[in-house]
């Protein structure tokens, strides 16, 4: 009980210390995230919640504090969300294989060029998460991918974790590696034009989750977030509750409550500035193999209840992952959550739920590029409308309604 109280008090004091930042920081101008800005030397300032108390809590804020808030606000701007195109080369190869293409750099370049150069994409997409290869890659026309995104008023982001590996001492669970050398990597990514970062770890309900796995996930996310902010990158915090399993929606809710409580405790312990982060949670749904399916309204009710009980309003944006839902299902659920006002920007950070129909329409054929881009824009616009609570679902294709859950999916 004492430990729970201390965690709650710590989070409250962090919020009190940084409550004014969101009001004072405007939207990031696209000229502020162009490639080649000189690296700043981070400075440290101290904010004390109770100046007269000898054991006052201190919150560290680097010289990037204002920029972090601006970047987060820009990504969390009305009617826009994130295009997650940070699949590793191996995963990208699986996507290409599904349309009969070989996994070569040229084919990956062609597909990524198609995505970033879709005309008007920035109207619906505020940020794009890139794999390291893409951050340094040029389009088939010779323009830097980062520059093409900036021209579309899309903030470039970067996947910084090094993937999941088995967690010794757990119930066949995993942990996310990549903290070694992260500081130097994030500094280089900032120099290359990235302005936010992503780190994905997962929690498996069928495998427990064990207290060890939950704590490891939360601690790793918190260390990554602190390091990213020190380098000027807004961290996307993503503890994904996997869809695998036969459990019902109440079990998902119970696990998510524990995970998010642990995550925010360790974020506070690591002096992470809440106004300079974005969250990428799973929606609260039944397990993919559960016989009792949930309606969009049920998903909305459970998910919003979770957010209100665990997520401080200082956080600018909640950018949901699709996690194997169909394109239409992910959009309907997002729309349901935006039928009333929320203290955060509730939006999307979708990969397959934006790209699936686009990829199949392209099929690796140059003559299909425009049709594929139109398919991408259709999905992006649908989710833009859902972020505004105005999506109806009318006229959706059968392809967009197909589920994309893969048991034991490796990203």
CA-wise closest residue to 167 among 208, 198, 224: 208
CB within 8 Å of 31: residues ≥ 6 apart: none
Q: For 151-205, what is each residue's pLDDT tens digit?
A: 999 999 999 999 999 999 999 999 999 999 999 999 999 999 999 999 999 999 9
Separation CA 71–CA 68 (nearest Å): 5
In this prediction, residues 245-251 reach a mean pLDDT of 94
| For the chain, percent of residues with pLDDT exceeding 70 | 81
User: Which pLDDT belongs to residue 112?
Assistant: 97
Pick the CATH number of 64-401 from 3.20.20.70, 1.10.340.70, 3.90.1150.10, 3.40.50.720: 3.20.20.70
Reply yes or no on whether 238 is catalytic: yes
Is the pLDDT confidence value at 309 over 50? yes
Catalytically annotated residue among 70, 159, 198, 280 = 280
Separation CA 82–CA 96 (nearest Å): 22
Assign 261 a pLDDT band (cuts: 50, 70, 90): very high
- Sign of the alpha-carbon torsion through 348, 184, 150, 159: negative
Q: For 97-138, what is each residue's pLDDT tens digit?
A: 999 999 999 999 999 999 999 999 999 999 999 999 999 999
Q: For 319-352, what is each residue's pLDDT tens digit?
A: 999 877 888 889 999 999 999 999 999 999 999 8
Catalytically annotated residue among 67, 132, 238, 327 = 238
Counting beta carbons within 10 angstroms of the beta carbon of residue 79, is it exposed (0 to 12), middle (13 to 18) or buried (19 or more)? middle
Is the pLDDT confidence value at 59 over 90? no
Reply yes or no on whether 262 is catalytic: no
Separation CA 270–CA 221 (nearest Å): 10
- Reported as type and span, the H/E element at residue 359 is helix 352-362
């Amino acid at each position: 009980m004492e430990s729970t109280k201390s965690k709650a008090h710590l989070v409250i004091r962090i919020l009190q210390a940084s409550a004014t930042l969101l009001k004072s920081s405007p939207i990031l101008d696209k000229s502020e995230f162009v490639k080649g800005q000189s690296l700043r030397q981070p400075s440290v300032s101290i904010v004390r919640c109770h100046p007269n108390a000898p054991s006052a809590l201190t919150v560290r804020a680097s010289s990037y504090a204002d920029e972090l808030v601006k970047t987060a606000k820009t990504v969390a701007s009305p009617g826009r969300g994130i295009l997650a195109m940070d699949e590793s080369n191996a995963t990208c190869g699986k996507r290409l294989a599904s349309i009969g293409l070989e996994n070569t750099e040229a084919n990956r370049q062609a597909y990524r060029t198609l995505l970033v150069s879709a005309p008007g994409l920035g109207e619906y997409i505020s940020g794009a998460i890139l794999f390291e290869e893409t951050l340094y890659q040029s389009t088939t026309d010779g323009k830097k991918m980062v520059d093409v995104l900036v021209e579309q008023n899309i903030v470039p982001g970067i996947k910084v974790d090094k993937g999941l590996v088995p967690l010794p001492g757990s119930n066949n669970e995993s942990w996310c590696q990549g903290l070694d050398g992260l500081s130097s990597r994030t500094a280089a990514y900032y120099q290359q034009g990235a302005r936010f970062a992503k780190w994905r770890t997962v929690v498996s309900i069928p495998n427990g989750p064990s207290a060890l796995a939950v704590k490891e996930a939360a601690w790793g996310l918190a260390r990554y977030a602190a390091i990213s902010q020190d380098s000027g990158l807004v961290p996307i915090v993503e503890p994904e509750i996997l869809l695998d399993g036969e459990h019902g929606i109440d079990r998902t809710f119970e696990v998510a409550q524990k995970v998010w409580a642990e995550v925010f405790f360790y974020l506070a312990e690591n002096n992470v500035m809440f106004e300079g982060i974005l969250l990428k949670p799973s929606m609260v749904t039944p397990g993919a193999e559960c016989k009792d399916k949930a309606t969009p309204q049920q998903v909305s009710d459970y998910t919003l209840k979770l957010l209100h009980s665990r997520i401080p309003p200082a956080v600018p944006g909640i950018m949901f992952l699709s996690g194997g839902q169909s394109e239409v299902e992910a959009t309907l659920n997002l729309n349901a959550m935006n039928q009333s006002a929320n203290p955060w920007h509730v939006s999307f950070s979708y990969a397959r739920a934006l790209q699936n129909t686009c990829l199949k329409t392209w099929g690796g054929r140059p003559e299909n590029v425009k049709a594929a881009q139109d398919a991408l824009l259709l999905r992006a616009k649908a989710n833009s409308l859902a972020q505004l609570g105005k999506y109806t679902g009318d006229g959706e294709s059968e392809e967009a309604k197909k589920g994309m859950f893969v048991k034991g999916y490796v990203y």
